A and B are shown apart, each in its own frame.
Chain A
Amino acid sequence: MATKKKSVRKVAVKARARAVPTAAKFQRPEEVEHWIKREVAAQERIYRGIVREMNALNDRRIKWVKEFYQRLQTRGFSVHAGIRRKVRPEEIPPVPKRIRVVF
């Protein structure tokens, strides 16, 4: 029991010595820097994969856009909550050949 109390006190002392940091920059240990670099590199690979997949989806997306533009003229554009407005044919934008979706 005495040992437990001692360890709690030790932890508490550790806490008192710390304050919420006041600067946006922190000194990180090297292993933490490495971890972040690894994760950022992995994220870049994922990002490039997403860009490839989304580019490959372009033809289907263009078909979806055509269907969407059709629905705007029949069912209507969702303006707010359940309020819809039928869009006039002259308001419909031209369908592009490619649409970039990841930035």
Chain B
Amino acid sequence: MARRHIEPFVDRDVPFKKMTLPGFKRGMNYKMLSIDKDSGACTMTVQLEGGYKQPPSISMSDVEILSMKGTFMLGDQACTPGYYTFIPRGVSIPSISTARGCEMLLMYNDREPNMIESDQDATGAKRSGLVATNSYDDMPWQVPNLFPATEPGCMIKVLRMDEETQALSFLYCMVPGFWQDNISFHDCAEEAYHIWGTSWMMQFGNLPTGGYFWRPPYINHGAFASEHGVLAFGRTDGTLHNHFHFHAHTEPDENQKKVGKKLAKQSPDLFRWVMTQGHNHPDFLHGHGPDWVHSHDHGGPHSHDHEHAHQHGHEHAHDHGKDRKK
């Protein structure tokens, strides 16, 4: 597991620290919310002090920013609370400055925070993947179109969906009096930060403003409630599917087995096809299948981020890496 299960954590309980990594300018402070022990990929609450300036730059990691307090300038663009941007690795962004200071969520998805002065994209950078939106002003709230879905009163604004992994970055809210009586888990890791408001979960109690979690796959959460409502930012590292049940005592390995069993029931043809490829190491995962199922790009950084073993009539296993990348 690359990132620890951090839940719940409240960033208001800890002070800001000065950012000392090379490339970053004086006046940038951070609170670490979660970090991948191998890659250094991390999520931070960041405070830029009034007068902070950094030149045009690139990062060797995909970066996500959500503005939460105050205003910063990204070139000529005034980034007020709710401004969200996804910057693919190697894509140059204009200078950043703030006159009076600001706070944001800052996420490095592939490696530790890094910044290289540059006003041009790096070779191979995918500028077409750049996302920038003012999520508060320019996007309507939507009812989640997941099946099964949360109770009415939980709404979502999808800020970005990764075309290959279906990983999501989104805002969500719960209306005052929201209540959902089930226990949920997902096949993906899930992360959230409370911009405003308190919600309650049966496992973890209250999560107030500034509350955060990084939750690996298959971990029970819920029932849910919020007395006065919540505004939050969330992310997943894969397809978000709600597995609802009401067994409060189950642990992740049991939940994962349940999903395997469900897959056999809900998609029997797919399940049978995957399980009857001769061994449990389907060719399409490793580039031997047709192009339309082998969709990851060998031109950029990637890894086979899963542990697996296969049998060839003798005992051996190999390891293609660790958990997911974020």
> CB within 8 Å of B: which residues of A?
8, 11-12, 14-16, 18-24, 26, 28-29, 31-32, 35-36, 39-40, 42-44, 46-47, 50, 54, 57, 60-61, 64-65, 68-69, 71-72, 75-82, 84, 87, 92-93, 95-96, 99-103
Q: How far is the CA of A15 from the CA of B56 in the complex (A)?
A: 11
With A15-B118, A15-B121 known to touch, is A36 a contact of B35 (CB < 8 Å)?
yes
With A20-B90, A20-B122 known to touch, is A43 a contact of B6 (CB < 8 Å)?
yes
Contact with A along B230-252 (1 / 0, CB 8 A): 00000000000000101111011
Q: How far is the CA of A95 from the CA of B147 in the complex (A)?
A: 28
Is the CB–CB distance between B244 and A15 below 8 Å? no
The interface residues of chain B, by DSSP majority, are classed as: loop
Residues in B neighbouring A76, C-beta threshold 8 A: 181
Q: How far is the CA of A75 from the CA of B223 in the complex (A)?
A: 13
B37 beta carbon closer than 8 Å to chain A: yes
Is the CB–CB distance between B299 and A80 below 8 Å? no
B323 beta carbon closer than 8 Å to chain A: no
In the complex formed, the residue of A with least CB distance to B42 is A39
Which one of B258-266, B275-283, B300-308 contacts A? B300-308
With A12-B120, A99-B248 known to touch, is A18 a contact of B58 (CB < 8 Å)?
yes
B177 beta carbon closer than 8 Å to chain A: no
User: Could you show 19 A-B contacts with beta carbons less than 8 Å apart?
Assistant: A11-B56, A15-B116, A20-B122, A20-B123, A21-B60, A29-B22, A31-B22, A35-B21, A36-B40, A47-B5, A61-B203, A65-B248, A68-B202, A69-B248, A77-B181, A81-B152, A96-B248, A99-B203, A103-B216
Partner of B118, one of A14, A68, A69, A78: A14
B70 beta carbon closer than 8 Å to chain A: no
Contact with A along B84-99 (1 / 0, CB 8 A): 0000011010000000
Is the CB–CB distance between B124 and A19 below 8 Å? yes
Q: How far is the CA of A84 from the CA of B181 in the complex (A)?
A: 9
Output the least CB separation between A26 and chain B (Å). 6
For residues 201 through 221 of chain B, which have their beta carbon under 8 Å from a beta carbon of chain A?
A: 202-205, 216, 219-220
Q: How far is the CA of A22 from the CA of B198 in the complex (A)?
A: 42
Residues in B neighbouring A16, C-beta threshold 8 A: 120, 123
Q: How far is the CA of A78 from the CA of B122 in the complex (A)?
A: 49
Closest 8 CB pairs of A and B: A15-B118, A80-B148, A20-B90, A19-B123, A101-B203, A15-B120, A20-B124, A24-B303
With A36-B112, A40-B35, A47-B4 known to touch, is A24 a contact of B301 (CB < 8 Å)?
yes
With A22-B301, A80-B149 known to touch, is A32 a contact of B22 (CB < 8 Å)?
yes
Residues in B neighbouring A65, C-beta threshold 8 A: 202, 248
Interface size on B, residues (CB 8 A): 66
Partner of B7, one of A50, A69, A77: A50
B49 beta carbon closer than 8 Å to chain A: no
15 new A-B pairs (CB below 8 Å) besides A11-B119, A50-B9?
A: A15-B116, A15-B121, A16-B120, A19-B123, A24-B321, A35-B20, A42-B32, A47-B6, A54-B203, A60-B205, A77-B246, A78-B181, A79-B244, A81-B148, A101-B219
Output the least CB separation between B107 and chain A (Å). 14
Q: How far is the CA of A55 from the CA of B113 in the complex (A)?
A: 33
Residues in B neighbouring A78, C-beta threshold 8 A: 150-151, 180-182, 244
Residues in B neighbouring A39, C-beta threshold 8 A: 32, 35, 40, 42
For residues 117 through 133 of chain B, which have their beta carbon under 8 Å from a beta carbon of chain A?
A: 117-125
Is the CB–CB distance between B6 and A12 below 8 Å? no
Q: How far is the CA of A57 from the CA of B200 in the complex (A)?
A: 13
